[in-house]
């Protein structure tokens, strides 16, 4: 791909003095397609939860979080999935990172961060 031509941006006219200032800046473009695999972006657990939830909503499946103080926490785990119509538990103890990778929701330049 040939390099993009730089663009020139001009300035403004002062309201107070009426003088016209010419400011010229050179804007360069880079090919982000080649750079994107080198730059790693952290994806939070909250973002993964939202992505997986949207993907599963197409099949009428919902993700749920179980409170650690709940008596069912040991049985269900922190994240589990249910059928949205019948509310029957379909999956327990879901590892969100592996599940998102299996669904193809994590891009090659993304890594899973622990911030949420």
Q: How is the chain split into domains, by residue range?
A: 41-112
pLDDT, tens only, 61-115: 999 999 999 999 999 999 999 999 999 999 999 999 999 999 999 988 898 887 5
pTM for this prediction: 0.64
Pick the more confident residue, 2 or 44.
Answer: 44
Strand (E) or helix (H) holding 53: helix 45-57
Give the model confidence (pLDDT) of 17-41 as tens digits.
666 555 554 545 555 555 455 688 8
Residues 22, 8 contacting (CB under 8 angstroms): no
Q: Quickly state the pLDDT bin for 12 (edges 50, 70, 90).
A: low
Predicted local distance difference test score (pLDDT) of residue 14: 58
In order of 42, 83, 88, the CA distances from 96 in angstroms are 15, 17, 19
- Give the whole-angstrom CA distance, residue 107 versus residue 43: 10
Alpha carbon 59 to its chain centroid, in Å, reads 21
């Amino acid at each position: 791909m040939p390099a993009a031509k730089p663009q020139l941006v001009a300035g403004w006219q002062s309201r107070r003095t009426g003088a016209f200032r010419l400011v010229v800046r050179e804007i360069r473009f880079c090919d982000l397609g080649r750079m994107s695999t080198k730059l790693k972006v952290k994806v939070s657990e909250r973002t993964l939860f939202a992505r997986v939830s949207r993907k599963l909503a197409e099949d009428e499946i919902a993700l749920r979080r179980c409170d650690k103080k709940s008596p069912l926490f040991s049985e269900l785990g922190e994240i589990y999935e249910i059928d949205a119509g019948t509310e029957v538990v379909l999956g327990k103890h879901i590892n969100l990172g592996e599940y998102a990778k299996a669904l193809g929701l994590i891009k090659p330049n993304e890594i899973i961060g622990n911030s949420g």
